[in-house]
Amino acid sequence: MLLQENYPLRKLNTFGMNASARWFTEANSMEDLHELFGDSRTEQRHAMILGGGSNILFTKNYDGLVIKNNLLGIEKIREDDQHYYIKSGAGEVWHAFVLHCIANNYAGIENLSLIPGSVGAGPMQNIGAYGVELKDVFHELEAFHTGEKTIRKFSHADCRFGYRESVFKRELKDQYVITSVTFRLSKTPKLNTSYGAIEKELEQMGVTEPGIASVSRAVIHIRSSKLPDPAQIGNAGSFFKNPVIGAAEHERLKKEFPEIVSYKNSDTDFKLAAGWLIEQCGWKGFRQGDAGVHKDQALVLVNYGNAKGEEIYALSQRVLDSVKAKFGVLLEREVNIV
């Protein structure tokens, strides 16, 4: 296949980092994947699969082969009394897929509107927002093993989903290319408006009988009001995960910081709002050069134009250190660093 050399990646990552790839190509079909990984040079060239580029920070040029996953196509593969099973190519744009589902009355995915990125990247980190995670609507996926050059089906259990986690970020990292994802969507919507902001937004919109389309619109409004649009200001959504801590530590923090924002995560642990911790350390709206912390959401680091990846990374380290010093809590980065 034709490889392009020294290929600019700026338009292919939502942080807008001005990095380049030593080699670049697109996989538009299964045949392309077979051809690419059938060639021993691909492995030697440290192939990296790129989806929508919305969860990645390039801190340097990539001295290897970047393969853009461009496997497209959406089809309804079956239905039963209650569900539609919708299969999407991994390269489809996530939000376009969500809109397709809403237009066809396939329910369950509406809360995940406007998340940047591709369908194939969704299961990698079990994307989630406003009370719904991808795992709640996931049926199965297909992935190409780059060493064996075989296709394997992964069930829900095989993916070992966790909070922004899956087997593809852990045990099977860099072994598979996700090629398609099948979702199990409902014929009768069970709206999830438990996230306070959605109900408030629907009320403001004057919606008295919400449906999947109005919930999607509400989510789009909320996201647009809080999160910077990557087309305007480079970013990769939440830079850190919300930390999960045990009950004893939660008790200690609550005593010292009664205002701390936390949620019960399970019988034994709590999730802290990392945005609150970061804001308390005085970072919200901080800017140095073109690297900054978003003015409306402290969990989001931003590139105002020409920030270097190293600058964003160094800022993330300062944020991490200060949260550790003030609260004794260690934040974990959600964004993949290259």
Active site residues: 164, 238, 334
Instruction: Give the separation between CA 243 and CA 253, rounded to whole angstroms.
Output: 13
216 or 297: CB nearest ligand EPU: 297
Minimum CB separation of residue 191 from ligand EPU in Å reads: 15
Near ligand EPU in 305-334, by CB under 6 A = 334
- In the complex, what is the shortest distance from the CB of residue 149 to ligand EPU, in angstroms, rounded to a whole number? 33
Picking from 318, 310, 180, the residue whose alpha carbon sits closest to that of residue 240 is 318
Q: For residues 130 and 176, which CB has a smaller minimum distance to ligand EPU in the complex?
A: 130
135 and 158 Cβ atoms separated by less than 8 Å: no
- Residues 15, 130, 144, 183: which binds ligand EPU (CB under 6 A)? 130
How many residues would you count in the chain? 338
Q: Which of 58, 97, 144, 276 binds ligand EPU (CB under 6 A)?
A: 276
| Nearer to ligand EPU among residue 42 and residue 111 (C-beta) | 111
Q: What is the residue type of 311?
A: E
Q: Which is nearer to ligand EPU, 74 or 273 (CB)?
A: 273
CB of 7 to ligand EPU, least distance (A): 26
Among 299, 301, 302, 319, contact with ligand EPU (rule: CB under 6 A):
299
Q: Considering only 18-26, 33-41, 59-67, 233-241, which stretch makes contact with ligand EPU by CB under 6 A?
A: 233-241
CA distances to 218, 233, 300, 336 from 292, rounded to whole Å, are 27, 10, 9, 18
The contacts of residue 80 (CB under 8 Å, 6+ apart) are none
Nearer to ligand EPU, 65 or 331 (CB): 331
Number of chain positions touching ligand EPU (CB under 6 A): 17
Extended strands (E) in the chain: 4-8, 20-27, 48-50, 56-57, 62-69, 74-79, 83-89, 128-129, 132-133, 138-145, 150-155, 176-186, 234-238, 244-246, 262-264, 269-272, 287-288, 291-293, 300-303, 336-337
Site for ligand EPU in 167-226 (CB under 6 A): 226
108-126 as b/e: b if 16+ CB within 10 A = bbbbbbbbbbbbbbbbbbb
Out of 57, 129, 159, 202, name the contact with ligand EPU by CB under 6 A: 129
Among 83, 135, 184, 241, binds ligand EPU (CB under 6 A): 241
- When the beta carbons of 159 and 299 are compared against ligand EPU, the nearer one is 299
DSSP β-bridge partners for residue 185: 84
Rounded Cα gap, residues 56 and 60, in angstroms? 12
Distance CA 82, CA 94 (A): 23
Give residues in contact with ligand EPU (CB under 6 A). Answer: 129-130, 226, 237-238, 241-242, 261, 273, 275-276, 279, 284, 297-299, 334
